[in-house]
Structure 1
Amino acid sequence: MGAIDQLILQLFDIEAFKFGSFKLKSGIQSPIYIDLRVIISYPDILRSVANHMNNILQNSNVSFNEICGVPYTALPIASIICVDYKRPMLLRRKEAKNYGTKKIIEGKFRPNDRCIIIEDIVTTGSSVIETAESLWAEGLQVTDAIVLIDREQHGEKNLQEKNIRLHRVLKISEVLDCLVRHGKITEEVSKNVSEFIHGNQMQLPTLKIEIEDKNISIPIRQRFQTIIKEKKSNLCLSADLTSLDEIIELSNLIGKNICMLKIHCDILTDFSMDKIQELKDVSRRLNFLLLEDRKFADIGNTVALQYTKGLFQIAEWADLVTVHVLPGEGIVQALEQAAQTINESRGCLLIAQMSSKGALTNNEDYVNGVIKCAEKYSDFVIGFISQSRLTTSDKYLHCTPGVHLTNTGDQLGQQYVTPRQAIDGRGADIVIVGRAILDSINRVKTAEAYQQECYQVYEELRKI
């Protein structure tokens, strides 16, 4: 038996390959699931994987100075290759820390060094590209990547578009052929998987960076406006759910329809930084912003700590937060200063008017104070939560909650308006919809309907 067949059968025996019906992150059902995380519990198999990948390094005639494994599953593989074969290693963090050196890439290197990327499995190639972009940002050259398994779902072509050559130990077609030959799966199972693979070629999400509106100058504002135009969506989902797992699952299904997802982290019963990072990964892949509806309303020092510290570490993952200006403008100043410790652009929405009946925020003096605060901190404040248009400036986005196509209110004082009333009558740019989607029998179709309705009205009024 050849060494490659032996490796495939070992992976099958430890259930790295599973056949049946599995729900993927994208929400679609797949007849195969590949879980290479299990190899860390089998040292002999892990070393065998590293050996095969090192053989490719030796035979590919690719020159390089360092190796970088994609976090996290590829890190043990890269570590063994570097230790066994004395190859220098770099470590890419998923996010820079806000203390110490604040580096994304750890290890010793020089500008223009060539670094080769190690990955366990490639589907779209997005993880390899994200790692390459971090390396490029540090002045390193990346032209090649080595993967254990290529799912053959367009990943190689996606990488070619980024001028990265893909080398692989195994193709999924080779895995299927081997398992059929050795009686591990039937021809029918192999055919079903092959048809699924060929019918689900994965493209990378596209995001143009050109912006026509010259008033949009700061990164988070630019990114938000780009998302709206690219996705043809001004829909924000208010995911007031108590399970982060459910929010992640829902985001995978309807993330393509929304420009922003609003959550309350302090009502989640299963919050963890690992899970919130998974949600952040979904938001990057499907291109929507994360809004933590924290409604900060305390003195500056306290909100800075609430924003950056504690269980939730909101600044690490939330693109935007909501803020009351009741304590004075110092609250915005404190949040803006705290956001500067993060290596990603951050911003906030000031709460000017609420959709609940009898809200005390809905008075002229308070609203005028909110507008003045926004003008003073316009690099951090990108818009308002409001029930009316507060300013003629296109710099600020007006986000209107309490939108529903049919209902007029609930028993707790929530007052609803239709998308047309929100956009045409109240001047909203972003329409925030919650229970109308969450309580729907078919959340996906309902989200699609709201996206189309809201953006159609938005286009009619020439707000884009």
Structure 2
Amino acid sequence: MNNLEDLVVKLFDIEAFKFGSFKLKSGIQSPIYIDLRVIISYPDILRSVAVHMNEILQRSNVTYDSICGVPYTALPIASIICVDYKKPMLIRRKETKNYGTKKLIEGKFNQNDRCLIIEDIVTSGSSVIETADSLRAEGIQVTDAIVFFDRQQNGDNNLKEKNIRLLRVLTITQVLECLVKNKRITQEVSNDVQEFIRQNQTELPALKNGIIEMKSSSIPIRQRFQTIREEKKTNLCLCADLTSLDEIIELSKQVGPNICMLKIHCDILNDFSMEKIQQLKNISRTFNFLLLEDRKFADIGNTVQLQYTKGLFQIATWADLVTVHVLPGEGIVQALEQSVQSIDEPRGCLLIAQMSSKGALTNNEDYVKGVIKCTEKYSDYVIGFISQSRLTTDNKFIHCTPGIHLNNTGDQLGQQYVTPRQAIDGRGADILIVGRAITDSINRIKTCEEYQQEGYNVYEQLRNI
């Protein structure tokens, strides 16, 4: 089956291409259904698919150090290319192991290696993007992907937005022409499929696996948080007050499965760079947690806009959430919200209402009332509070409580601790912010797991009462 036309006909004969009326995962009815999983039962066809993909790679002069097949259908194709053409292979797990090394990417690689992604079918490109994010989170470069079959539903443009060039063996147009020519389908069927494709172009999803948000920011970031909490069963925010971004990156890989949010202070990092912060952002997408920059903005509108979007840190480009003092008045929230209108991802902020340090001046009744008032106009951008108690009965606002420790003691600098149960049951916390109890632990992974389990168990107990 060196002839591509013969391969298309054979794929039709083994029912990899089906025509009729099929309900897709999205719920819409499609006149075509493509299922390349069946090729694993036909070794000659499977090998032929791999051969044709490799021929495209040879003609395109793509340079890469390794290949990675998108799980699961593309894995057999990648394996054949690996063995037949002596190409080192990496495997991306669909889920992280909760034991051993907890690796998401298996195989041998070095920082800045270039990996080619192999996929069987591309519709929106979301599976390729998800795999690319996981690889990039490990410091691996991804610039190209090859697909056997492109449904021509805007996947190539979606991938281009993520700086990934798409190479392809076949398009749906080519397949339809071939099948009409070989009398496998009628021209009328071909026309119906082409019309369906024209009317059903895809938009780029930012996340998958139940945490889907469309390209625009029309879905509030609070919805993303709520889904993360329910899907991952965690209400734990890790406060990583470390001075090394490299250390934070490694820590986030270890505890990513256990947290819903990672809080950092970019201005205390000795090794900050946009390249490294992008790596951290990719890790947050891989493990589905929010990035919170604890900037504590507290200046006039024009200044905070510059602090948010410009300078060395360019916080708006990577932080899902930021913290804000409203001492200057509600104008500070308006300024920050305006700053992210051009950002093509949801953004939000947490208003600092109460702090966990002894004698904090923010713990003033009039100040807290002023903080709550700021949510009236900016409820799409303000998703909640940093607080020591529940400030409102409106459940759309989340309450994040710092100073959590399994032993409710304190430190020598005025930090006061409460236990997870005291925070959730007694104070109405939604999110537990835990810092040194984890980062100072001899076994950070185990300690993080303990806080995740304790915090979420209390949350579920109270929810079921």
TM-score in terms of structure 1 length: 0.61
Show the 5 A alignment for 1:222-371: 222-371=223-372
Partner amino acid, structure 1, of 2:443: N
2:405 match: secondary structure: coil
Percent pairwise identity:
66
Distance 1:276 1:457, change over 3 A: same
For residues 91-130 of structure 1, what are the structure 2 equivalents within 5 Å? Answer: 92=159
CA distance in 2, matches of 1:93, 1:352: 42
Q: Does 1:139 align with 2:201?
A: yes
Match runs of 1:167-178 below 5 Å: none
Deviations 1:161-195 (A, max 9, x none): x9xxxxxxxxxxxxxxxxxxxxxxxxxxxxxxxxx
1:326-380 CA-to-partner distances (Å, cap 9, x unmatched) read 0000000000111111000000000000000111111011000000001221111
CA separation of 1:137 and 1:438: change in aligned 2, threshold 3 A: farther
Q: Counterpart in 2 of 1:408?
A: 409
Deviant stretches of 4+, over 3 Å: 15-19, 25-32, 34-40, 68-78, 89-95, 104-107, 112-115, 136-142
In the alignment, which residue of structure 1 is the partner of 2:378?
Answer: 377
CA shift, 1:393, in A, is 0.8
Secondary structure at the residue paired with 1:285? helix
Partner deviation per Cα, 1:124-175 (whole Å, 9 max, x = no partner)? xxxxxxxxxxxx9993799xxxxxxxxxxxxxxxxxxx9xxxxxxxxxxxxx
**In structure 2, what residue type is equivalent to 1:220?**
I
Secondary structure of the 1:222 match is helix
Distance in 1 (CA, whole Å) between partners of 2:405 and 2:199 is 44
Gaps of 5+ in 1: 20-24, 41-48, 79-88, 96-103, 116-135, 143-161, 163-203, 211-216
Letter in 1 for 2:436: R
Shift, 1:92, TM fit: 4.5
Give the Cα separation in 2 of the matches to 1:299 and 1:440: 39
Q: What is the Cα deviation at residue 34 of structure 1?
A: 3.5
Aligned Cα root-mean-square deviation (Å): 4.5
Matches within 5 A, 1:381-460: 381-460=382-461
2:28 maps to what in 1?
Answer: none
Counterpart CA distance in 2 for 1:373 and 1:91 is 37
Structure 1 residues 271 and 396: alpha-carbon distance in aligned structure 2, compared to 1, 3 A threshold: same
SS at match of 1:295: strand
Rate the CA distance shift 1:440–1:16 in 2: closer, same or farther, 3 A: farther
Q: What corresponds to 1:197 in structure 2?
A: none
1:412 maps to amino acid? L
What letter is aligned with 1:34? F
Q: CA deviation at 1:206?
A: 2.5
Cα displacement string for residues 201-249 of structure 1 (whole angstroms, at most 9, x for unaligned residues): xxx9722569xxxxxx942010000111111111100000011111111
Change (3 A) 1:358 1:332: same
Q: Distance in 2 between matches of 1:372 and 1:449?
A: 36
Secondary structure of the structure 2 residue equivalent to 1:311:
coil
Q: Distance in 2 between matches of 1:399 and 1:345?
A: 19
- From 105, 108, 115, the equivalent of 1:33 is 108
SS in 2 for 1:374: coil
Distance in 2, Cα, partners of 1:342 & 1:420: 37
Paired AA for residue 294 in structure 2? D
Cα 1:287–1:17 change in 2 (3 A) is same
The Cα of 1:462 is off from its aligned counterpart by 1.1
Distance 1:336 1:114, change over 3 A: farther
Change (3 A) 1:433 1:376: same
Cα distance in 1 between the residues matched to 2:456 and 2:172 = 47
Contact 2:400–2:429 (CA<8 Å) still a contact in 1?
Answer: yes
